[in-house]
Structures are given as C-alpha cells and as structure tokens.
Amino acid sequence: GAVVSQHPSWVICKSGTSVKIECRSLDFQATTMFWYRQFPKKSLMLMATSNEGSKATYEQGVEKDKFLINHASLTLSTLTVTSAHPEDSSFYICSARLLAGSSYNEQFFGPGTRLTVL
Amino acid sequence: KQEVTQIPAALSVPEGENLVLNCSFTDSAIYNLQWFRQDPGKGLTSLLLIQSSQREQTSGRLNASLDKSSGRSTLYIAASQPGDSATYLCAPRGGADGLTFGKGTHLIIQP
C-alpha cells in the first residue's frame, strides 16, 4: 500500500515551453501533497505544499506563477513548469501524506520526474 | 530555519559490517523524523518513521533512534548487504508540513 506514482518519469523540452507533471496516490487518499526539487548532488528542497481544493503554499524563493500547482482531487496533484528554461532542469519529486492508521504523518514519495530543458 | 547535517557524507565498507549513520538537526521542535533511502536517479523509499514522543523504531535490520532534545538521530544497519548500497536521507518534520532533508550519506557495501 501507500504507492505514489508520477508521470512522466522523464521529459525533455525546448526552452520556453510548459511542462506538466502529474502526481497520483494510487491506493490512498491524500489531502496534502508536496512537491520537491533535487539538483545534482544536492538535497531535496521543498517547493510547495498542495492541499486539495485550495491554493498551494509556496516556499520562499519559489515563483508561484512559474510553478503552477493544482490539487483538484484527493488522489491527484499536478505541477506545471511554465516557460521552462535550462536552469529549471532538475529532478522533481512529489510526496503524499497518509492520514489514516498508524502511519499518520508519514510521507510517501513518487519515483520522480527528470526534467531537461534544452 | 531547520538545518540538517548528515555524517558521514560517504561510506564504503565490506558486507557484513554493522553501520551507524548520523543525522543532526538544529531545531528540536519537530513532530517526527523519517529515514529514507534513495537509489541513483530514483525516488525515495521510506524506511522508518519516528514520532517525536518515541526513542527508537525498528524494521528488520534497521534501527533508528531519536534524541529530540539534542537534535540527533541515528540509523543503525545490521549485517550490511550489497543491496543496502544507496543514499540514506534523514528528514525531520517541523511546524510546516514539508520535510527538511540533509544531503544524505552515500553508502557502498562491497561484496
């Protein structure tokens, strides 16, 4: 149980285009999902917290107009990188928080999406 | 702002050894702390979750301890195997919902 999927697993795009990444909780409902970014040999950094049915909360330094987050259902959150540039190339990972049972507050992570902007 | 430090940054040992990975964090006001492993180019696999009221958690060959007041956690790996090779990350959860990660310990278990 507690499986989180991401799609696509990798994407290559031209500079200036927009890219949408999906994060799904497959076997549980998640009112809260999180988006992280990981640059090579660096720590994962939280970008934003996504709550179902409300606006996302962005971390300091993360442009909300550039990284659009939509959490329309209890099992799906999307991250759209708008007008992507080479410096946006990174590994994007989502996580979902399990609410029920003994694993309350535990976060389960998706497999990540490798974005390369040419 | 929470800062997480993991020591050592890298470790290479022959299989069979018992290992201790260290994690320290600056803000002790945490709700819980998770340990993860990350394989190259992959997402994170949750290993253990310790609530702030707990002192340790065990899962198989893994044992994690938490000393919240001193801002420290350790991950103990018993009888290491080549399949344990990965980067191990600790992440305390503070007042905000998201996790703060250290840079990890890159572990290589030699066959």
pLDDT value of position A88: 95
Is residue A71 scored above 90 in pLDDT? no
Contact A111 B46 (CB under 8 A): no
- Predicted confidence band at A78 (pLDDT cuts at 50, 70, 90)? very high
Distances in Å between the Cα of B30 and the Cα atoms of A31, B34, B52, B64, B70 are: 21, 11, 6, 16, 12
Average pLDDT of chain A to the nearest whole number = 89
What single letter denotes the amino acid at residue B12? S
Tokens of B36: 């993860």
C-beta separation of A93 from A44 below 8 A: yes
Give yes or no for residue A82 having a pLDDT over 70: yes
| pLDDT (average), residues A57-70 | 93
pLDDT band of A101, cuts 50, 70, 90: very low
Q: Cβ contacts (< 8 Å) between B43 and chain A: which residues?
A: 4, 6, 93, 109-112
Pick the closest to residue A79 from A112, A40, A116 (CA basis): A112
State whether B43 and A110 contact (CB < 8 Å): yes
pLDDT, position A37: 96
Mean pLDDT calculated for residue range A51-61: 88
Those residues whose C-beta lies under 8 Å from the C-beta of residue B39, and which sit 6 or more positions away, are: B45, B86, B87
Confidence of residue B22 (pLDDT cuts 50, 70, 90): very high
Q: Could you give the percent of chain B with pLDDT greater than 90?
A: 80
| Mean per-residue pLDDT of chain B | 93
CB atoms closer than 10 angstroms to residue B72: 17
Which of residues A42 and B34 earns the better pLDDT score? B34
What band does A77 get if pLDDT is binned at 50, 70 and 90? very high
Six-digit token string for A62 = 């993360």
Q: Would you list the DSSP string of A70-93?
A: EEEETTEEEEEE-S--GGG-EEEE
Taking contacts as CB-CB distances below 8 angstroms, the residues of chain B near A32 are 97
Average pLDDT, integer, range A23-44? 89
At residue A103, the pLDDT reads 45
**Residue-level pLDDT at A42:** 85
Residue A99: per-residue pLDDT: 64
Contacts B104 to A, Cβ<8 Å? 43
Q: CA angle at residue B94 from B90 to B98, to 5 degrees?
A: 75
Compute φ and ψ for A101, nearest 5 degrees.
70, -160
DSSP B74: E
For residues B57 and B51, what is the distance between their CA atoms, to the nearest angstrom? 9
Across A20-42, average pLDDT: 90
Residue B45's identity, in one-letter code, is T
